[in-house]
Amino acid sequence: ALPILKHYILLNTLAPPMSDVERGEQLTLFDFSAAITDEAYHADTWKARRPIKVIIGNPPYLAASTNPYDISAYKTETDGVTDFGERKHWLNDDYVKFFRFSEQIINKNKEGVLAFVSNNGYLDNPTFRGMRGSLLRSFDKIYIVNLHGSANKKETAPDGSKDENIFDIMQGVSLFIGVKKTKKTDWAKVYYTDVWGTRETKLDILSKGELSFTQLKMDQKMAYFIPFGSSDKDAYDKGVGLSELFPTNVTGIVSGNDGVAIAPTKAELTRRMDIVKNSTDEKEIFNLWGRFSRGQTAEKIRNDVLSDGTVTPIAFRPFDSRWTYYSGNSCGWVLWPREKSTMGHLLADPTSPIGANIGLVFCKTSRSFFSPFVAKNIIAHRLFSAMCEITYIAPLYLRSESGLTEETWTANLNEEAFNKLTKYMPVKPTPIEVFDYVYGILHDPVYCEKYEQYLCRDFPRVPVINEPENERAEGAFFVSEELYREYVSVGERLRKLHLMQTKQPAEITLDPNTAADMEIGAIKYKNGMLQLNDNKRITGISQAVWEYQIGGHQVLDKWFKEHKGETLTIDSFTHIENVVGLLEETIKLREYLRSLH
């Protein structure tokens, strides 16, 4: 649809005048239906005389769109010049391309109105800052009506009541109205309003025009199209960002087909790989795979398996480790393996001088803030959520290509960021202490609640340690050396729990305690009882543990749903005992951190 729309509007607004015959010849190049062709032909007389100055629509949303259109103007900082430096982003969504295309038409005509109802992700997603900056430069006034309704974000109205989408979709939506009248060079004034409630309530408010707008104060760096920022933002910004502190980081791998490329056991993975290795024709590989993702072929998968890759565990979901084959080759066994130059540091042999490496898992999101996690292997891109959060992993140590001697391992710490973080400490901490400090403070409910609106909109930041009073911004979250030591201690404890290096199994019970009826079915939890299937239940799991989330996943609920249809063995029951126990301890440690303030 986009190339056709692009051609048609350009034909009628940007191209030099042409005769009716020439115009008719152009339109016949496209396979429009007779009715649409006739309508377009007759409407063209007016459009050719008056350039389009009002564009209204509901552009399609498709995050993985391959429709060609140049959106490079949006891949910048808000200044419109500096490259934003992001390799993975959602700017290829079709609605973004429609925004850019329409903006260009209005800029060419030097005045006009753009009115779209669209995906509302661009309002505050940090990656879309260049898009927002471009729109601010193009228009004089911008009106935003945030209609919310995101099932992905599980949105509710501020008073806790139900919030519904105006459409039957999961993604929240908003209205954008941009008005251009002048050739001004400064940013547009932005007026914003929220509309919450049921679908009927929202449509009624819109039909009556009962909207009250507030002018936004624009953040020069991010240009958010929502109310954002307060007096403590300067204090938060003085901290050190995780991507600055741990500069070598990468998003989780995308297998393209989790059901085949990621196996529950090493033996099962080997069996699947042998089918590919020993295949005599492509049909055998296709029968195993079921479907190929874009760019994959049977030949590429077979060549990849025959290359010099590694069979490795993968952190698939929280406390759910599985197996995959990793070579770093795109469109092979793994669709998007990300950079092997980063992931390769997490393939280290546990017998190496540093032992098994670990990585800090964190998220860049526009949802509520997610505390970090830790992994000792490569990670799947949906480790944190099945929605749109972008999950990163930063290895703690980096291995040079020269070998596996102790001298070739270096900490993944940026010197400038490390010095900023530890500037006022009499003794510099070790890399693992820095890791534990970050892990501890980002599990502190007090810190996370204070800065939640900032933590969830870009890479999280942590405070400079022991910063003198005369150097601190007003309202800063102060981390004394004493509090720093508490964070390191709790962070170490949490790290070992989440890596399951420390185990303290909970007292949970099978009822009835027999070997029969152990298949995991359509689980249901209520009042401390988890119904495993019609005849079997597990008791002893508290409500707080059952509801505990890591990233966007409710940990236990997700584990059982991912393993539906499997038999709950002694080993897997023991695993659940340990997960319940470590979650209980995690909740206690978070409350201990709260008590320190």
Please tell me the predicted confidence (pLDDT) of residue 401: 58
- pLDDT for 389: 63
Q: What is the pLDDT of residue 51?
A: 80
pLDDT tens-place string over residues 389-399: 678 999 999 98
Please say if the pLDDT value at position 386 is more than 80. no
**Tens-place pLDDT, residues 391-446:** 899 999 998 755 444 547 899 999 999 999 999 999 999 999 999 999 999 999 99
Of 210-219, 364-373, 480-489, where does mean pLDDT reach its minimum? 364-373
pLDDT score, position 41: 63
Condensed to tens digits (0 to 9), the pLDDT of residues 256-305 reads 999 999 999 999 999 999 999 999 999 999 999 999 998 999 999 999 99
Reading the block at residue 90, the tokens are 């959602």
Q: Residue 12 has what pLDDT?
A: 43
Residue with tokens 């966007």, as numbered in its chain: 552
46-85 CB burial, b ≥16 within 10 A, e <16: eebeebbeebeeebbbeeebeeeeebeebebbbeeeeebe
Q: What is the pLDDT of residue 28?
A: 44
DSSP H/E element including 173: strand 173-180
Check residue 314 and give its pLDDT: 96
CA-to-CA dists, residue 52 to 40, 109, 176, angstroms: 14, 8, 18
Tell me the pLDDT band of 16, cut-offs 50, 70 and 90. Answer: very low
Query: What region, left, alpha or beta, does residue 160 occupy, with left being phi > 0 and alpha being psi -120 to 50 degrees?
Result: left
Distance separating alpha carbons of residues 372 and 98, to the nearest angstrom: 35
In this predicted structure, the answer to whether residue 448 has a pLDDT above a threshold of 50 is: yes
State both tokens at 102: 């329409």
Report residue 133 as tokens.
Answer: 């900056």
* Sign of torsion over alpha carbons 377, 381, 386, 391: positive
Q: Which residues contact 35 (CB under 8 A, 6 or more apart)?
A: none
What is the per-residue pLDDT for 294? Answer: 87
Residue 20 has pLDDT above 90, yes or no: no
Is the preceding omega at residue 445 within 30 degrees of 0, hence cis?
no
Mean pLDDT is lowest, of 306-320, 364-378, 487-501, 508-522, for: 364-378
Residue 117's pLDDT is: 96
* Nearest in space to 575 (alpha carbons), one of 536, 538, 547, 548: 538
Banded pLDDT at 367 (limits 50, 70, 90): low
- What pLDDT digit, counting tens, does each position of 237-247 carry? 999 999 999 99
Give pLDDT, residue 400: 75
d(CA 348, CA 165): 47
Write the pLDDT tens digit of every residue in 211-258: 999 999 898 888 999 987 666 888 999 999 999 999 999 999 999 999
pTM of the model: 0.75
543-573 per-position pLDDT tens digit: 999 999 998 899 999 999 999 999 999 999 9
- Give me the half-sphere count of Cα atoms (radius 13 Å) on the Cβ side of residue 550: 28
**How do residues 508-542 score in pLDDT, each as one tens digit?**
999 999 989 999 999 999 989 999 999 999 999 99
Between strands 262-263 and 320-326, the pairing is antiparallel
* Per-residue DSSP letter, 583: H
Confidence of residue 153 (pLDDT cuts 50, 70, 90): confident
Q: What is the pLDDT of residue 44?
A: 65
- The pLDDT of residue 539 is 96
Look at strands 214-215 and 189-194 and give their pairing: antiparallel
3-state secondary structure 210-261: CCCCEECCCCCCCCCCCCCCCCCHHHHHCCEEHHHHCCCCEECEECCCHHHH
Give the Cα-Cα-Cα angle 465, 470, 474 (nearest 5 degrees). Answer: 80
Closest by Cα among 412, 402, 358, 361 to 248: 412
pLDDT band, residue 52 (cuts 50/70/90) = confident
Pairing between β-strand 310-317 and β-strand 378-379 as defined by DSSP bridges:
parallel
Read off the pLDDT of each residue in 117-126 and give the average, rounded to a whole number: 92
Q: How far does the chain reach from its first CA to its final CA, in angstroms? A: 57
- For 94, list phi and psi in degrees, rounded to 5: -60, -40
Kindly list the distances between the CA atom of residue 273 and the CA atoms of 164, 455, 536, in Å, as whole numbers in the listed order: 46, 42, 36
Mean pLDDT score of the chain: 88
pLDDT band per the 50, 70, 90 thresholds, residue 332: very high
CA 539 and chain centroid, separation: 34
The pairing of strands 310-317 and 320-326 is antiparallel
Question: What is residue 32's predicted lDDT score, i.e. its pLDDT?
Answer: 41
Mean pLDDT is lowest, of 23-37, 373-387, 450-464, for: 23-37
62: helix, strand or coil: coil
Evaluate whether 475 touches 451 at the Cβ level (below 8 Å): no
325 strand-pairing partners? 311
Contact between 379 and 393 (Cβ < 8 Å) = yes
Amino acid at 417: A
Dihedral of alpha carbons 126, 376, 262, 565, sign: negative
3-state secondary structure of 361: strand
pLDDT for the residue numbered 387: 56
Which of residues 564 and 352 earns the better pLDDT score? Answer: 564
Q: Please report the sign of the dihedral spanned by the C-alpha atoms of residue 429, residue 430, residue 432, residue 438.
A: positive
- What pLDDT does 90 receive? 78
Nearest to 69 by CA among 7, 128, 25: 7
Report the percent of the chain where pLDDT is more than 70. Answer: 87
Query: Where do runs of H (alpha helix) occur along 81-166?
Result: 94-109, 129-138
Instruction: Give the mean model confidence (pLDDT) for residues 341-364.
Output: 79
CA dihedral 414, 421, 549, 451 (to 10 degrees): -130
The DSSP line for 516-531 is SS-B--S-EEETTEEE
What CA–CA distance (Å, rounded) separates 111 from 472?
46
Contact 351, 287 (CB under 8 A): no
